Structure 1
Amino acid sequence: MPRFSVIVPCFKVQGFLRECLDSVLAQSFDDFELIAVDDRSPDGCGAILDEYAGRDTRVRVLHLPQNVGLGLARNAGLAQATGDYLLFLDSDDTLTPGALRAIADRLAETSGTSDPDGRDGRDGRDGPDVLVFDYARTYWWGGTRRNVLAHLLAEAGADTFDVSVYPQILDLLMVVWNKAYRREFVTEHGFTFPPGYYEDTPWTFPVMLGARRIAALDRICLHYRQRRQGNILSTTSRKHFDIHDQYERVFAFVALRPKLARWQPYLHRKMAEHCLDILAKPDRLPPADKAEFFRRTAEMFRRHKPEGAVVVGEAAVLEGSWTGYRLKRQSARARREVTRRTGEARRAVAARARTGWASLHARRSLDENLVVYSASSHRGVLGDPAAVYHTAREIAPQLRGVWVVRDTETAGQLPPDVEHVIVGSRRYLEVTARAKFFVNDVNWPGALAKRPGSVHIHTHQGTPLKYMGVDLLDKPGARLGLDVPQMLRRADRWDLSLVANRHSELVWERAYPCHFTSARTGSPRNDVLVSRDRGDFRQRHGIPEGNKVVLYAPTRRDYRRGGHVDRLDLARFAADLGEGFTLVVRLHPSLAGGPARGMGLTEQARRGIVVDATDEPRVEEVLLAADVLVTDYSAVMFDYAVLDRPIVLYADDWPAFVASRGAYVDITADPPGQVARSYRELAWLFASGSWRDEESARLRADFRDRFCEFDDGRAAERVVRTLLLGEAMPPVGVARIPGQSSGREVPASA
């Protein structure tokens, strides 16, 4: 008896079916049966299913004699299922890599078993009745968007529950395919799918209300395909009237179970919202049928209204007439139009006022002691600008430092003694109009005018490996959405470009053909790496004393829309590292808010398999805590090399990476340490100890000589004294500061 029965009904999906089946059969967890149901599909689905069954014994195919629809096709598969748990997968959707293993592990965790096969008895009766997992929508144009209510899965906690304890679980999309169901629970209650358009509704609500133990898995286990023409529920048809029959089934289920009577008000409201949503969509019902749909919904709403219930919110329209509903909709549209026009007028007035305010302060003299800072598009006190700011406060208190932040939420996260302004505000316009110095690691907004005599210091965000600036003109995929000429117009404001090595100096001057001076200062943010104070990262994350910390820091891929590609099975890598090692993962900042973490990282961090350091604001603290860095082509390797600790390069897709993005150096030919071109090689490097052998040390020494040339621990001091104060420090070269009298010199390129 397998652990899972994966039931896949098929009808007119021959273009997507192979991808769906492959996503199941390629799972690392293989204790499952795949029951594919050919719902008398008129295309090639049946032949495809037979082909797969002929070469994989885990696949069983049912050919139905006539087309019965999605719900009854699922029932046919359900009747043949023998697995402990049931999963229903639509034939144009796909399981994500490692999904079944993650589901099996979560079932084992909530069953109180440590069995690696995820079992607590062969029948699974001690496990949860339902496991709810996450999904992401995938679009025909290549985009991916995670479920916007994913946080509900995280907030559900590690223990099992029922809907009375955590009713928020019902706010998730009420569909069948984002859950695993204990088969004995389904059989015991006689749950089946009815015919019709909205067959998920009378399955999902009874199942969730009847489940005594529900578990949540905060991981994207399914990709929900969004077809260009939409799904069947997006078509214009009278079939949408089926929603009334399906909710009647739900109400009948609850009526026969007095213990569920408390859910009557919730279901009453949910039904109203669902039906009104269908009515409001312009492409669901034929216009001539909308009045009838409203009247049937209103009649059902009145009939099932709980005694004494007070109707509030949008559902209240169902207590009126169709004419009243139409008038209310028209009135709402009119109000939205008035609001839009009013907003546009107010924004125009505000823009003129801001322009006048900025012009007024631009007539005043520059404040020679005012320094404006920003980092990572106004995300807070971070990176190189932060290091310069803290050093300036220490050795040059006469300088007034003001940070630009993007919104009030970011401002609220700043220390109370940090002066700040919000981008676009009147205070922002005043400060930026009068500041002598501007320090940023990315470009300032295009609307910021550079006054004569002001000095813009660009710190960059590390040493460049990937193509940047004008070099991206030959890489159209990598510059998708990037306006290179506009970027150069903003870079024209730079006066000084900080570099940590001669390689960076040459790259920046080629990639940004603008009139700036290269300042050989080193990277200010790396000063702390020279001091090698590990900080409290290990203690905060509960890393055992004496464990070797392996930091895995992958970069984004420009050959994949969204930038994320799973190059490594993190759970497997953590297991292969074995006792005495802790795996810490830090994703590229651009992937922190996308679906990348939902593909397993969040759940593995919760279970203690890895430590997720993606949200750590100071990457330097993460680097200091690590004993070895494993990365692919992330620029963080250049910073980490300052520590003179082992680096392992995981370069399994180097040719594809270079072809799509371009690279200034062949990092595989001149690496900072040992190179692995497959996971097998990576695992061997750690198993054999080669990750820290003499060859690794020799490669690292050569790499440090080349790329850590100016990182001596005094970069921030050098910026403050030479660039902001005009004092002297031992220079590498000299260059004149723009807008300054003679005698003020800075380290610069020859």
Structure 2
Amino acid sequence: MTTTNPAAPRLSVIVHGRDVQGLLGACLDAVTGQLQPGVELLTAAVGEEAQDVAVRHGGTVVPLPDGTSDAAARAAGAGRARGDWLWFVHAKDRPPVGGVRALLDRVSEVPDAVDVVVADHVRSTWRSSGGGSGGDARYLAAVGRRDVTLGEAPGLLRVTPLLGNRALRAAFWRAHEKELAAADEMYPARAALVLADRIACTEHVTLDVRELRPQSLPPVTAEQRYRLIGAYEDLQRLMQRHRTPARPRAVLYDLMATEAMRVVARETMPDEVAREFFHRASAAAVRWEPAGHRRPGGLEGIRRRLLEEDAYTKYRAFQAANHRRRDLKAAVRAGKKKAGAKVRDHYYQRALRTPVDPELAVFSAYWDRGVACNPGAIAAKLAELAPHVRPVWVVSKATEPLLPPGTDHVVPGTRRYWEVMARAAYLTNNVNFPNAVVKRPDAIHLQTHHGTPLKKMGLDQLDYPTASKGLDFDALLSRIDKWDYSVSANSHSTRMWEHAYPSHYTSLDHGYPRNDVYYAATAADIRAVRDRLGIAPGKRAVLYAPTHRDYEATWTPRLDLTALSERLGEDTVLLVRGHYFYGGTASPLAGLRRSGRVIDVSTYDPVEELALAADALITDYSSIMFDYANLDRPIISYADDWETYAKTRGTYFDLMAEPPGHVARTQDELTEILAGGAWRDEASAKARAHFRRRFCEFDDGHAAERVVRRVFLGEPEEALPPVVPVESRTPAPTPEEATS
């Protein structure tokens, strides 16, 4: 067994990279939850967001600038590591429960001659969590508890080439760092096996690899395609230099040919790139063909022969013939499903053949419920900055009478609706347009969202059956693939949207346009809103706005509003938003409503006016808290069922640990906070200040302008109004200030 410095850790876990789609936190949670004597954590954090997450989780943080490659991050982490063994874990991946212990145990028992320990892994996708044993189990089982050379176990080259599913002895890494620090992970993962004196294995799953949705990643460039062939050729040269036996070289050759054909067959590439890739793969196949090599039989053998002959055109013809055969079989099985199944709408199909109108913009909000939210604020700013663009709102038939006079609009399903949807150059929504809406190449889809996420959203709901019941995730993915831009109010939202809605859109870190009013409203505006609501001057108005519970079939009152109002007295008015009144004239609330001490604002729009009128907010887990925080007014979290809500719906952070103000778990606690001075004390202000810095990051009153200039006027990012720092902003006056 190896003798080491007892003060040094046995295993250094090096988490490296940027915070891809907000996954770094989950990775570090998984590692820190398994730390034990003999294990150290280092995070080679690329960019400020990753560094902030890493600092909160502890361990050694190696800060690296944006743009640092994964290879450079790995090397930087290894340079600070003190352990006898190095384990590189990408920031998007994570060790499953028991993974750290299993790897620590294995590296602690192998002989000194072993340089690499190879482990199993599983894969999680945007749809599912990894479980069970991975696809490499059979190769690892063939080695068992022995330690071997690559010549004795060439099948180890077929283990998925990741650095995260193998640990490297630190001295071995330093001796071969030039080879092992290569940029593309496939090369160093396999080069480690070539360079190792001896290799050991463990059949334990030590890594859960998070596969990101391809549509959420930058397109693969031609040079990246070509580098794959170059990496295989570099490995063959490395094997030559190290006199690797024939069997591993033959395995590597088969892997190269198989992967090259897979890329040509399955990956989308421009024809000229595919042709050049095929040509390079052909040259490599001829150059490195092992002596006595025999092609496989069947269709694969035909493909290999065409590759070796550099017969790209013949290969494509062969591929097309196979596709036609498969398509014919599928058509027979489907039984001719009405060849196109009747055109969904004749007018729409005809309109899709006409040019896009560069001056036509479609807006919708909350499933066609009218002019509201971020789309409404963007449309208003559009009229000011780009009046040549004509807005048309999509609204339901029931909403038509409620529209502002003169609003140009269409009703879903009508002839003009399909014509407008087909020809608009801009389509803006705070939810998604219907599945039937086609994304035209020269049309821009702008997704504004309608809140900062506390609860799990999108694909992140997959692990929460109560919240995801009835959701069609395939249809969701198709809808988000139409997005060109996604508006965000803060870095937290940006990361969560990338995770929950993985696709290749551009995030606009510009703030929520609907929140601009919180910086533009005047004292006169606030007095006018309170007058409309019937709130007398000098009265304290408290807005109560709870959210929906997925686990409740019907609404369950969470507060006894009668008791609360009686306890707070005549100087306090409760503005209650939601379906929270029960009973009719016999209700105990009836008298309070008549007296003006409880006002039902469930159907009042816009909600931003309610926030401006309120001296304080009571909410539970509603996203209104993030918007209201812009006003820098007191927020009380009434969280009587936090544990149930978090377990059934899932949340992105612990609201109890980072609330925007005081937290009440019972009505008595809530009453005490509001009845005394605690609702606006120093502790409340301190919590709110921290909350505002994190969640009001981009909301400074100029969000709509930035969005309109960037999307509708095409101005570059650097020409937009810069975001005003939180501490330099002046929110709208409080109701108290507005009356003084």
Normalised by the length of structure 1, the TM-score is: 0.48
Normalised by the length of structure 2, the TM-score is: 0.49
